[in-house]
Amino acid sequence: MNIEHTKTKEVIKWFEEISKIPRCSKKEEQICNWLVDWAKDNNFEVETDEVMNVLIRVPGTKGYENSPIVVFQGHVDMVCEKTPESNHDFSKDAIKLKYEDGWLTADGTSLGADNGIALAMAMAMALDKELPHGPLELLFTVDEETGLTGANALQPGFIKGKLLINLDSEDEGVFTVGCAGGKDTHVSIPMNFENNLSGYSQYKLKASGMKGGHSGIDINIGKANALRILARAMVAMTNGGIDLHIADVKGGTAHNAIPRDSYAILYLKDEDLSKANEILAKSQEAFRIEFGTVDPNVTLSIDSSKEDFAKSMTKESTAKTINLMLTFHHGVAAMSTDIADLVETSNNFAEIKIKDNEVQILTSQRSSVVSRLEELTSRIEAIGLISGGTAQSGGGYPPWQPNMDSKLLAKSVALYKKMYDKEPVIEVIHAGLECGIIGDKNDGMDMISIGPDLKYPHCPDEKVRVEAIGKVWDFVAELLKELK
């Protein structure tokens, strides 16, 4: 792809380097060490904290030495998703980048522009000898995607700046000034297993072909959840007179990714296979109509399984598991009564697996209203408890309450209008950002979140618009000049 914007070339050059380094959530040691080495190689002051958050200090340029410190903030980790046919090993393989119609994407995996683009842009700006700016602090946090661990571990005073530009938003020309809070819940419910019944054979039922996506940004689109589709397929089979027993069930990969694929290892009679295929074909047709253009490729299949399970669930535990999969809420729970078209509260039915004879379920709740977040979390915990299991919720993270009187916002809006002759969009989002936590830990922070156009994060369709990278660069470069 021919890229004319020279600064965009610099950003992508650093993004290419970042994409060579493994950085799945909770496995960020290599990328953090690389960033520390990069800072030292360029004679920047650098420090890390106990969880390996990286802070790089860049001196102001001539004439800007005494300007306010500006914090560029992003997270080092990425959601590691791949297509079923991909052989990519996230622990060692570089992300394979490719260009398609003006977009940068990856080959069979998530791209990691969420939030590698933030790192690359901040690094390129720090090295740009032509860019006037005050002192900069590059704050790169760990483990944002699985619970904002890095932001939660920040100590007050770790950063000195009071102006923060978060580079984790996903629409150029949009200034984000608030976001939802969130909390995850783990539910574990014991099940009864028995020796496999005589005359039954093992089959693998798969629900696949769904798009998935970000559980905050995409939750209102109505995409299919592979765990719910799998449960509904099993209901259709049992309603059709098929006696099935679950030996294993698995689906979902991350708390903030809508599940795209799932499967169940089932024991059923060989003579029921033909009927099962008929039922699944009808269910698949119904699902494709139901989800229309949003998820048109919902696919159900059942084939002989080579996996060896000595036991499967009793009939009662099989029914209980299916009913649980139907019971957990997925999708929008409430829309905001204050901001038009904003999802206020939602839940992502994120993961299911069997371990130690227990069905283990992970859900991820979000809300911009703390009391609604607590209420939805309590309901989910109640399902686990009344089912004879346990439920444990994490501490979560607070919502970022918008400050419409922000001086940084006012300056940014005026500048954007001057540069592009149009008003930027100011929004509050349902996804989680680290700004709320950082603001809680550092009094007096003035913050906005921006970024280039990024589509389909947290899944293999993720892509970033190349032209938008340059527009964000140009805007931030001008903003830095005005923050003197």
Residues belonging to the active site:
77, 144
Q: How many other C-beta atoms can be found within 10 angstroms of the C-beta atom of residue 30?
A: 15
Q: How many other C-beta atoms can be found within 10 angstroms of the C-beta atom of residue 337?
A: 9
Q: Determine which helix (DSSP H) or strand (DSSP E) holds 198, and give its type and residue range.
A: none
Helix or strand or coil: residue 286?
A: helix
Instruction: Tell how strand 136-141 and strand 70-75 pair up.
Output: parallel
Helices (H), 77-136: 113-127
Cα–Cα distance between 124 and 132 in angstroms, integer? 13
Residue 407 amino acid letter: K
Residue 293 sits at the vertex; the CA angle it makes with 291 and 295, to the nearest 5 degrees, is 50
Do 321 and 191 form a contact (C-beta atoms < 8 A)?
yes
Distances (CA, A) of 152 to 88, 146, 176, 341, 359: 31, 12, 20, 29, 29
Q: Is the dihedral of CA 379, 384, 390, 396 positive or negative?
A: negative
Cα–Cα distance between 300 and 306 in angstroms, integer? 18
* 134 Cβ neighbours under 8 A, 6+ residues apart: 60, 64, 65, 66, 67, 68, 69, 70, 480, 483, 484
Q: HSE, CB side, 13 Å, CA atoms: give it for residue 167.
A: 29
Cα–Cα distance between 345 and 376 in angstroms, integer? 8
